[in-house]
Every structure is written in C-alpha cells, then in structure tokens.
Chains A and B, each alone.
Chain A
Amino acid sequence: MNEMYKTTPTKPAPNNSLLEKYSRWLVNNPVLVLIASILITLALATGGKNLSFTNDYRVFFSDENPQLIAFEELQDAYTKSDNILVMLQPKNGDVFSEETLTAVADLTERAWQVPFSIRVDSLTNYQNMVAEEDDLMVTDLVEDSTQLRAEDLTYIRETALAQPTLVKKLVSPDGTATGVNITMEMPAELSDEDRLLPKEERDLKDPQIALQLAVDDARIMLAEIEAKYPDIEFTSTGLVMMNQAFPEATMKDMSTIIPMAFGVIIVGILILIASPVSMIATVLVVLMSIMAAMGTAGWMGYKLTPPSASAPTLILTLAVADCVHYLVTLYHNLRSGMDRKDAVVESLRVNAMPIFLTSVTTAIGFLSMNASDAPPFRDLGNITAIGVLYAFFLAMTFLPAFTALTSRAKKVEKKSKGSQLMNGLANLVIKQRKPLFIVMGVIMVGLAVLTPKNELNDVFVEYFDETVPFRVETDKITENLSGLYLVDYSIDSGEEGGVSNPGFLAKVEEFEQYLEARPEVQHVNAITETVRRLNRSMHGDDQAYYKLPDSRELSAQYLLLYEMSLPYGLDLNNQINFDKSTTRLSVTLDTLSTVEMLQFEKEVKAWMDDNTPSISTLGTGPTVMFSHIGMRNIISMLSGTSIALVLISLILVFALRSLKFGLISLIPNLAPALMSFGLWALLVGQVGLAVSIVVAMTLGIVVDDTIHFLSKYLRARREQNMSAEDAVRYAFNTVGVALFVTTVVLVGGFLVISQSNFLVNSEMGLLTAVTIAVALIVDFLFLPPLLLFLDGNKKIKHESTSSQAPVAPNAA
C-alpha cells in the first residue's frame, strides 16, 4: 500500500506498463475475469473431496525421526502398544466386591469383542499361579465372580495387592480403582492391494475407518456397562482413544474457529472500510482462497491434522490484509470523486507491487516450515503458502473485477482522525527519540535474553485442553490408577534364547531395581518378576525362592512351562520377542515435563552405561517421542528459518534498493519474535512444539510492516530529498494507519486461532498474535529513532523546521 495514500483525485497519469494495460482490460471485461477466476477456484476446490482427517498421533513424527523408528521397531518385536484402558471406580470405594468384580469380568468378556482387540488384561483374568507340591494350578484370579464368599474376596484382594505386576497398573494400591486394558492391533495403512478388496474387507484395513469402528464399539460397550452398573464410574483413555481425539478436536476446531474468524473479519471490515460491498468482496476472496488452498491440499493427498486444519484461519487472516490494502485505496479514490473504473485501475497500480512483495515474503515464511521434522507443520506451511499466493492472484483478478462491477461511494470531504494521530505520534517519536531508543533498546534486549528461560514442554495428553473429554478422563485415570507416561526399554541379550541367561537376567533385575528406586517411577514391568514368581511356584510357593534361578536351563524351562499354561491373548509376547533374544521392560512414570523427561532419559542412560553396560539402551515410546519433538523441531526449523531470513532479506534489499537498509531491517524483523518469547517466558514460561515454527512464520508477516515503513522513508529521502526527521513523519503519515489496521486484523485473526482446543494451535496463535503486535510497536517506536540515529546525523542540519509533514495525505 506504499503509494496509495499519495494518490490524487485526478485521473491517473497515463502509464503504458503491462500492469496498466492489464488493469484497463480488466475493468472493461470484469464479467469474463469474474467467471474465469471462479471456475479456476472451483476446479481446485474439487480436490477437497480427497481431504480426510488423520487419526494417529504418529503423524507428528517424520519417517526419519529416530525416536519413531525405535518405537516402531519395538512395536514390531512385541505386542503393539495401541490400547484402550477403562478404569472402574465403585462408588462404595472398594474394588473387591462381588458387584465390581462381576463388572470387571463382564467388561473383560465384552472387551474381546471390540474390533482389533488382541489382548485383554484385567483383575479377573489375571493368570494366578498356585503351587501345591508338584501340582501347579494356573487359573483366572477370579473364576466365577457371582459365587464369591467373603474369604474368596479377601483372598483376591490380598493376592492382587501383592502382585507387583498389577498394583498401580490394573489396581490402585488402596483398592479403590481398577482397570481393564485392551491391547489392539490396528491396521497400519491401506496398501494398493487392499484397495481392490470388497468394501467390508477394505474398511477393516483402512486405518481411519478401523479406528472409528473400534472406538464406536468401545463407546457402545462403555454405555452398556455403565447402564448395567450404575454404582460404578467408568472412565477411558489409551492411545486408541487419543488417536480418535485428534479428528474430533480438529473438527470441533474447524466448526468453531473458522466461523469465529469470519465473524471477526466481517465486523472488522464493516468498521474499518464502512462498505458492505467491501465486506462481501473480502469474504468472497477469503472463501475462494481457502477453497482453492484446501482443494489443492486434497489434490496433493494431504491429511488434515489439528495444525494443518488451522490453515483456513491463517489464510483467512492473511488474505484479508491483501484485500484491505486494495479496498482502502479504492474507496479513498472513489470518495475523492474518481470514476469507478479509474479508481480500480489506480488502486491496482499502487497496490500490485506491495501486495506481491508481501505475499511472496509471507509465502516464503510459510514454505520454510517444510524444514520442520513434524509433517503436520510442513502441510500447514504449504497449504497456507498456496492460500496466500492464491489470495494474491484473486486480489489481482476477482477482487478488481468484482469491485469494478459493484463498488460505489459518495464523494466526501473528510479529514481522517487517524492521520492526525499518526502525525502526533511521529512528532512524539522524533522529539523523544533518545529516551525511546534507550528504553526500547533495553526492553528489546531485556526480553530477548529471557527467551531461553522458556521451558520446552510437550505433554501429548495436554495437547488437548480441558474441554476435550479425552483429556479430562485421562487426567482422572492418571490421578487414580496409572499414568499414560510409559517408557519401554527393549533389552537385548545378544543371542537367541538369551533372555534365560542368568547373567543377563541379573543385569535386567539390577536395572529394574534401580528404576523402582527412582522417585518419579510408579511401576516397572519386567520379565524378571515373572521368572522370580515362576521360581517360587516351582518350589511349592516357598518365598525363599522368590529370586532369579541360577541356571539358564531352569529359566528357559520355567518359561516354556509357563507359556504352555497361558490362555489365548495372555501370552508372553508382550514381554519377550519371538526368538527370546530380547525382552521389553516397561516403566510407568509420574506426569513429567519434557525437561524432566529428558533428564530422566539422560540419567537412566548414564546409569546403564556405568552399571549395566552390556544391556545399555535408550527407552522409547510416545512419551519419549514427544519429549524430543520440541527440540528436534527447533533444530530442524533453524535451517528453514535461516533460509527464509536470507531470502526475505534479499527481497528487502531488492525492494528497498539498499543493502544498508536491508541490513537495518533485520532488527525490526527478528526482534519481535525474540521479544514475544521473552514476554512469554515472563508470563507463561512453557513452550511446546508450536514455538519451533513461530519465528519463520511471523518473519514473513512482520516483514511486511518493515517493507512499508522503510520504503516510504526511503522514497521521502531519495525522491523528495527530505531530512531523516521529515522522512519519518512522511512514513508515519502515509502508512501508519494502514499498518495499524492490518496489525489489528492479523492480531484478531491469530487471537481467534489461540481459542483452539488444541494446545499446539492455541500456543502458535497466541505467540504469533503477540509477535505481530510487538512488531508494530518496534516499527513505530524503535525503528524511527534507529533510522534517525544511523541515517539522520549527516543531513540533520538541512532539516526543514516545519513540524508538519510535507505531504499530508489522507489515510484510511
């Protein structure tokens, strides 16, 4: 919008440039342009039919992510970790009653019917081993829950609460809550072969449909069991439930946030431009940009994740800015009495280049998100970049064509209050440049150095806010039964059957005991516990034999015997791999911050290296994956952000035609992100995954302000030979109001995104909103003193004494 405020009410000067020719052609053929742009939009939009929601937390990890690879290897070697955990809390506070145990047995039985279930673990089907001399009885802990005598209940309570494998896993130590854990083997992906199957069979292999089938059935199961046992409270969680929470949260977001954002722009445009036609034009451009971008995403085979599903709102916010620039000039021209066609041509003339530049820089910022290690952000970046560029295309075609047909405004003579305010601000800034420079400088540095004070914390459960039922239920289960914070260690003996090697088992036991002694550890599930228990059972339940056997043959033969006595689905494959060379040790932890989690990982690894080097390995699992995701993405985004910074700086140097000012612009371009992180450190203190993309993303947006301000300043210096002070006044007067207006629109849009119930989005929205607001403050209060300081000394003597800007143009 650099030149728009300079326009005069007279007919624009004849200009034979390509743009001029195009504009003239356009205003004479608006219907053609309108129809063509609508048809192109619709063609792209049809790709929307290919869009679907993803429902797998693993989408946050690229195929190359080392933590994901380790986790997939572990899942391949043992039973899968996908699960649904149902917690039962009887109102009388005692799990060991006939009613509750019957409910557990009922639920266990029914849980086998949930599609894709391969294993169900509960208090009732726990395989209890009792020895009587040389007779070994392996039975369900609760055989028939309807015929329990008082002494049976006592026996069950005592047995269950004495089992290290059960306590804090399937039963709370105080016996007030118990769990039924359903392990599921969900289909991984639909292969090309599977696509040819009949629908019913294909559905079972389609991860999305499969998940829906499983969750739907689990919910029916819960509804039935809740109705049957009104005195027991049922709560559910697990990775399968979390996966389902993703599409549900995404859809909820889309159904609330997008309408909210549209509401904001409708009201905003009506207030700022006071023209219903403008409002309709803007809504149409925004709508078409979103349709085209989302449609293209569909054609490109993208899946919607909560982050990429926020693309429509981003496009909406950014596209509005393009429209505002064009429309403000147009209505200014119309109100100055210009003919409609001329007004359109003139508005295109002055806006085409700035809108192009700002669209390109914004798109670069978003495209740099391709460097992210988290694929949802790559998708978000690409979809938004497409939308932003498409909005530029529409601003050059549909928008002028539409307004050429519809816009009208009465000629009014009105002084803008805004420009007077800007003039006052300019004088204030010039007068107080020294204190401002110092104060702003101190604030900027002060906030920037606080940036590292932010603690990186990605808690996947907390990605959903408290309005998402999954989050509420998970918190409750974590509090009352067992946490979702699991770390798995796949411990390798190095030889087939080596799991029975006494030397190996001794090391595993040492590790097990070390972990159990750690304060943050709730529960350790290790094969050594099974072997100790077997050894005791093989010696007539003599407690003296509750220890590891000293020969490999004994352990191997115990395990062979044990395996032969277990029922379907309760085998040892969740703990031992197929050739018995490795064993899985699972640790349940308290809810830890990412920092604590990484510390835990580091300390455990160091301990293993020192004490059990032969079995030293890193833990894996979703908890570990999400602990690394923030840092990994920051590192991967460093290169993306750097490339964006270089490209955008080059564009600035080109646009400003000055290397010096290109370099100066780095300060107002980079400072806002650092300052908002500093501010965040003071107010919130914790950042997650979102933080990694905010710098690159905001860079492309805040740079627009700098382009506008500096280009005005330089024009005044170069073309009108003004002093630095007058050039600052000129810049304030020409673009001050417009910068303020677009900032308000952008901050409004990002504040809407911050309402997301998905933490990554809401953090991103809020951080971006703060950054954009800070950017305007820096551009208004720090950039002018900086320019006067660096550029003003030489010519300050020739400065005009007038306190009034030489050109006092009208503004929005």
Chain B
Amino acid sequence: MMFNNAKYQSTPRAFCLAALCLSTTIVCTTALADQAAKDRGLEIAIAVQAQDDGFGDSESAMTMTLINRAGKESVRRMRSRILEVPGDGDKSMSIFDEPADVKGTASLTYSHANEADEQWLFLPALKRVKRISSKNKSGPFMGSEFAFEDISSQEVDKYDYTYLGDETVDGIAVHKIEAVPTYKHSGYTRLINYIDTERLVPIKVEYFDRKNAALKTLSISDYEKHMDKYWRAGKMEMQNQQTGKRTVLTWSDYAFQTGLSEKDFNSNSLKRLR
C-alpha cells in the first residue's frame, strides 16, 4: 500500500484516474505484446509450412524401434506414401512390413485440421477394408511413444501459436514457439516447438499432457534436403519422461514426385497394395 498516506488521500480521484490509466496501459501493452507474439508464432509456422509447399507426393521407408526402460528393443518397419492436398491436410498411406504377422496391413488417412481424420485400414488376413471412425486417436501408434497425431500431417491450422523467443539447442539457433492444439480431442495441452532459424525445420518438440506436465520430448535430426528444397528428417527420437520408454524412427529411401495421384489414395487402392 505505497499510496496509503496523507498526501494521496487528499486527492483520491486523481489517484484513481492515474491508476486507471496505468492499468489500462499495462493491459493494452500486454495484450499488444501477446498479439505480437501470436502473430510472430503464426508467421514462423506458416513459413515452415510454406517452404514445403509443392512437394506434390513422396514415398519413404521407416523403421520404428521401441526401447523399453530396461533397454530392450523391438522393431517395426513400414513404408509411407504422402499426397499433398493444397488447402487441407495431406492424404497418406502406410504399409506395414514388419512384424510379419501384420505384413501387408495398410492404412489410409485423410487428415484434417479441426475435425476427425478419416481413416481406413486394410487387414490382409481378413481381406477387408475397414473404415475406422474415432474422434480420438491420441493413443500410441503401434505401441510406440508416438501418437498418431505426432506423425500425421502437421497442418498450420491444427494449432494456435505463440512465439516465445530465440534460443540455442545443441548449437543451433532456434525459434521457440508454443503450439496449443485447436482440436479438442488432442492428447496434449500444448507443444513447444524449437524451429531451426536457418532451415526452418523443427529440431525439438516438447509435449505436455492434459495436466500440463512434461510428457515427452521429440528430437529430430539427420535432415537432408531433397530436390534442393524439401527438408526431410532422417531420425526422430521420442523420449517419454513419465515412463522412461523411448522410440526411434529412422527414415530412408525418400523419393519425391513419383507420379502418385488421388486414385492411389482411396479405399479401393488399399487392397491393391503389396
């Protein structure tokens, strides 16, 4: 109560006025600063997304290694195909090669920013395509530390961004951006992205669970530039802080613009895969 003395008591109105002005200024400045941080965050997110525009379609192979607390490993392999869909989430297809008992199983996903993704799954043992309707696919993907939402198409509209400043991660200058999922069934309260200022690619992501406790950390490395333009990671490592388990994804055999089209991404095409 620093104003609580005789001098100010004689002019309460002037004091109130001054206080009002002061607080308004603070609120406005804060709001302005907030808005600026949001704008900056969105700007960077758009820039990251934009440099990937026009890749058309791509294919790649992925190895997923699950590592438990005791250090034991279990490996899965799959291939993926992605078709860029301007203005909406990409269409993607995953074909499982290992373990042997799921070989030939394939999933087709139409991802969307703010509504449930559409997903079909072909089960070779059943010889049928099943359409899965589930709002909530935040669970682990193939028993790994990755959720489906972590590796599906990262659309700008899926999050609200706030720029938190610049930092250095492993000697690389980064923008630190907080991303709050806009989809209400997301498994996270927020993510913190660390975007390489030069290449404009994420090199680290921190995930916070529903109670805003640190859940897992993703480290992305071994980036390679394809077709002189498109950065693709060679390795992603997800460490779960709560359970001590981790999963390593390694990507290889990237190929771009291989001639895939819409007709390769519908539920009938799932059955024709090998």
Q: A570, B139: Cβ atoms under 8 Å?
A: yes
Cα-based distance from A573 to B245 in the complex (angstroms):
12
Q: B139, A578: Cβ atoms under 8 Å?
A: no
Q: Does B126 contact A (CB under 8 A)?
A: yes
User: Using Cβ atoms and an 8 Å threshold, which residues of chain A touch B96?
Assistant: 560
Cα-based distance from A115 to B213 in the complex (angstroms):
8
Q: Does B13 contact A (CB under 8 A)?
A: no
Q: A114, B125: Cβ atoms under 8 Å?
A: no
Q: Does A576 contact B (CB under 8 A)?
A: yes
A-B contact count (CB 8 A): 139
User: Using Cβ atoms and an 8 Å threshold, which residues of chain B touch A556?
Assistant: 99, 101-102, 125
Q: Does A112 contact B (CB under 8 A)?
A: yes
Taking the closest CB of chain A, its distance from the CB of B253, in whole angstroms, is: 23
Nearest residue in A to B247 (C-beta to C-beta)?
A578
Q: Do A112 and B211 form a contact, CB below 8 Å, given A556-B101, A564-B121?
A: yes
Cross-chain contact of A579 among B74, B121, B137, B242 (Cβ < 8 A):
B74
Cα-based distance from A185 to B124 in the complex (angstroms):
37
Nearest residue in A to B211 (C-beta to C-beta)?
A113
Q: A138, B134: Cβ atoms under 8 Å?
A: yes
Q: A567, B126: Cβ atoms under 8 Å?
A: no
Contact with B along A500-524 (1 / 0, CB 8 A): 1000000000000000000000000
Q: Does B50 contact A (CB under 8 A)?
A: no
Q: A557, B140: Cβ atoms under 8 Å?
A: no
Q: Does B274 contact A (CB under 8 A)?
A: no
Q: Does B142 contact A (CB under 8 A)?
A: yes
Q: B107, A564: Cβ atoms under 8 Å?
A: yes
The stretch of A129-137, A191-199, A633-641 that contacts the partner chain: A129-137
Cα-based distance from A564 to B136 in the complex (angstroms):
10
User: Using Cβ atoms and an 8 Å threshold, which residues of chain A touch B130?
Assistant: 134-136, 538, 561
Q: B69, A76: Cβ atoms under 8 Å?
A: yes
User: Using Cβ atoms and an 8 Å threshold, which residues of chain B touch A432?
Assistant: none
User: Using Cβ atoms and an 8 Å threshold, which residues of chain B touch A554?
Assistant: 123, 125-126
Q: Does A117 contact B (CB under 8 A)?
A: yes
Nearest residue in B to A201 (C-beta to C-beta)?
B214
Cα-based distance from A115 to B210 in the complex (angstroms):
10
Q: Does B185 contact A (CB under 8 A)?
A: yes
Q: Does A571 contact B (CB under 8 A)?
A: yes
Interface size class, chain B: 35 or more
Taking the closest CB of chain A, its distance from the CB of B158, in whole angstroms, is: 16
Q: B74, A113: Cβ atoms under 8 Å?
A: no
Cα-based distance from A106 to B225 in the complex (angstroms):
48
Cα-based distance from A452 to B102 in the complex (angstroms):
58
Cα-based distance from A137 to B102 in the complex (angstroms):
21
Q: B131, A135: Cβ atoms under 8 Å?
A: yes
Q: Does B55 contact A (CB under 8 A)?
A: no
Q: Does A609 contact B (CB under 8 A)?
A: no
Cross-chain contact of A572 among B128, B143, B213 (Cβ < 8 A):
B143
Q: Do A567 and B137 form a contact, CB below 8 Å, given A538-B126, A556-B99?
A: yes
Cα-based distance from A466 to B96 in the complex (angstroms):
56
Q: Does A6 contact B (CB under 8 A)?
A: no
Q: B141, A578: Cβ atoms under 8 Å?
A: no
Taking the closest CB of chain A, its distance from the CB of B47, in whole angstroms, is: 30
User: Using Cβ atoms and an 8 Å threshold, which residues of chain B touch A580?
Assistant: 74, 99, 143
User: Using Cβ atoms and an 8 Å threshold, which residues of chain B touch A558?
Assistant: 123
User: Using Cβ atoms and an 8 Å threshold, which residues of chain B touch A140?
Assistant: 136
Q: Does B208 contact A (CB under 8 A)?
A: no
Q: A117, B211: Cβ atoms under 8 Å?
A: yes
Q: Do A137 and B133 form a contact, CB below 8 Å, given A556-B101, A560-B96, A560-B105?
A: yes
Cα-based distance from A578 to B242 in the complex (angstroms):
15
Extra inter-chain contacts (5) besides given A116-B213, A557-B105, CB under 8 Å: A135-B131, A136-B130, A553-B102, A557-B125, A567-B185
Q: Can you offer 18 A-B residue contacts whose CB atoms are under 8 A?
A: A112-B210, A118-B242, A134-B129, A134-B130, A135-B131, A185-B243, A553-B125, A555-B101, A557-B101, A560-B96, A564-B107, A564-B137, A566-B139, A567-B136, A568-B147, A569-B187, A571-B143, A579-B74
